[in-house]
Structure 1
């Protein structure tokens, strides 16, 4: 026997009750009933769209980072990570804050955008990542900036391998006097 029978019976009864109500209401004032149904339908669609697009709306309404003097606030992203945009040699590069990473780990594409010639790099180091061991090349970034905060001659590693995003590790985070959390916000202070 069909296991969906109770559900089908429920929906048929629901449709009959709703249909009976609509027929009764529409007899009194057809145009008013249609306007009300359209209004409720639009409200229902707006709610569905709002829930479906919440992450996109949140990322555009809430700023990805707030820089106020020597204080930086990074709201937690929907994936549970913290992201920050730094200017490397004047070029804005997105990073994921990774307290498990020792150094700044630059993707090759980001290193090139920051003016580093990756073709001349010597990949003599190694780093263990979630995807295995990768070769690294030590580099020095002339200028790292975020808001009014700037650092010169910052050491980093260019990673030879697949990184989805460059990583901001502990060697740079240690430059801050305070690295802490306030609810779902990471706070960096100098």
Structure 2
């Protein structure tokens, strides 16, 4: 737990000491990740966030209205899981489609990259959250706000996500985004997920 706190303190110091402004980054362009396959090539223990009563709340502007517009998302089967490409804070990333995960989940690696690029800031930090993995082990992670999550052309705003205290944890597309849709259907024949 102390290691995780020190990690985020170091990230915030790095971010606040960075002399480049967001405008400088925008002028020069961002280096986007091409894939996170290396993070997903080895099977990992699923880390399931559990809600706590003391978690900070999202900004008041959050709209939790269920979307009724349909969209198709192509997926790839990789090692028995469905992998989809979504855009998080304007960065395309590959996520495992996981209806059993309560939140979108990213690893420390992606969080550090997003912090360095300015796509998440210290203002997006919402607090700490205990996680229980498949073995029942409890560890502490970080809860953040993602300003935008685009899934198949539909843009969601202010989505809760967890940063897992593991550098190689897989990225999970969980219920904090999926619950915004009224219905989802998996079309195995055409390798598509239909969100309505």
TM-score by length of 1: 0.54
Q: Flag structure 2 segments of 5+ consecutive residues without an equivalent.
A: 1-68
Q: Flag structure 1 segments of 5+ consecutive residues without an equivalent.
A: 1-68
TM-score by length of 2: 0.52
RMSD value, Cα: 2.7
Q: Is the 8 A contact 1:86 1:146 kept in 2?
A: yes
Which has a greater percent of helix?
Answer: 1
Number of the residue aligned with 2:130: 126
Number of the residue aligned with 2:13: none
Q: How many residues align?
A: 121
Q: Is the 8 A contact 1:178 1:187 kept in 2?
A: no
Q: Is the 8 A contact 1:123 1:135 kept in 2?
A: no
Query: Cα gap change, 1:152/1:91 in structure 2, threshold over 3 Å: closer, same or farther?
Result: same
Deviation at 1:168, TM superposition (A): 1.0
Q: How does 1:92-103 map to 2 (within 5 A)?
A: 92-103=92-103
Query: Cα gap change, 1:91/1:75 in structure 2, threshold over 3 Å: closer, same or farther?
Result: closer
Instruction: Output the CA distance in 2 between the equivalents of 1:76 and 1:91.
Output: 19
Q: Would you identify which runs of 4 or more consecutive aligned residues in structure 1 move more than 6 Å? A: none
Number of the residue aligned with 2:195: 189
Larger radius of gyration: 1
Q: Does 1:178 align with 2:168?
A: no
Which has the higher relative contact order, 1 or 2, with Cα contacts under 8 A spaced 6 or more apart? 2
